[in-house]
């Protein structure tokens, strides 16, 4: 099991941009093979947002990234204060 954590800055007052991103990307990610859970999160006051995705395998996580990353870039274009930082981690423990 793997977790992909993606963090990015949109700046203050960009909550509607983040909600549009979430409305588009969350269902697209959830529909990818191997996705077990996806959460879009953020702090409107700080302008920091991100995605947290649980994958069954690294192969499925990597395959999804090649499809989802361009969609993320489209949403971020002209809106970011800090570029996305995407990292993939092994899950060391899990509880439902």
pLDDT tens digits, 37-85: 999 999 988 899 999 999 999 999 999 999 999 999 999 998 889 889 9
What is the structure's pLDDT at 82?
87
Asked if the structure places residue 28 within a domain, the reply is: yes
Q: What is the number of domains present in the chain? A: 1
Torsion, Cα 87 91 74 68, to 10 degrees, reads 120
Helix spans in the chain (H): 15-30, 58-76
Residue 42's domain comprises 1-47
Asked if the structure places residue 36 within a domain, the reply is: yes
Asked if the structure places residue 61 within a domain, the reply is: no
What is the structure's pLDDT at 72?
95
In this predicted structure, the answer to whether residue 12 has a pLDDT above a threshold of 90 is no
Asked if the structure places residue 77 within a domain, the reply is: no
Q: How far apart are CA 3 and CA 89, in angstroms?
A: 5
This model's pTM is above 0.85 = yes
Asked if the structure places residue 58 within a domain, the reply is: no
What is the structure's pLDDT at 15?
87
Asked if the structure places residue 56 within a domain, the reply is: no
Asked if the structure places residue 60 within a domain, the reply is: no
């Amino acid at each position: 099991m793997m977790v992909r954590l993606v963090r990015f800055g949109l700046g203050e007052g960009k909550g509607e941009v983040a909600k549009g991103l979430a409305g588009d990307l969350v269902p697209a990610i959830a529909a990818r093979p191997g996705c077990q859970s996806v959460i879009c999160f953020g702090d409107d006051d700080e302008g920091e947002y991100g995605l947290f995705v649980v994958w069954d395998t690294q192969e499925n996580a990597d395959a999804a990234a090649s499809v989802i990353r361009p969609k993320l870039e489209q949403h971020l274009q002209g809106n970011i204060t800090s570029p996305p930082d995407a990292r993939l981690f092994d899950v060391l423990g899990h509880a439902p």
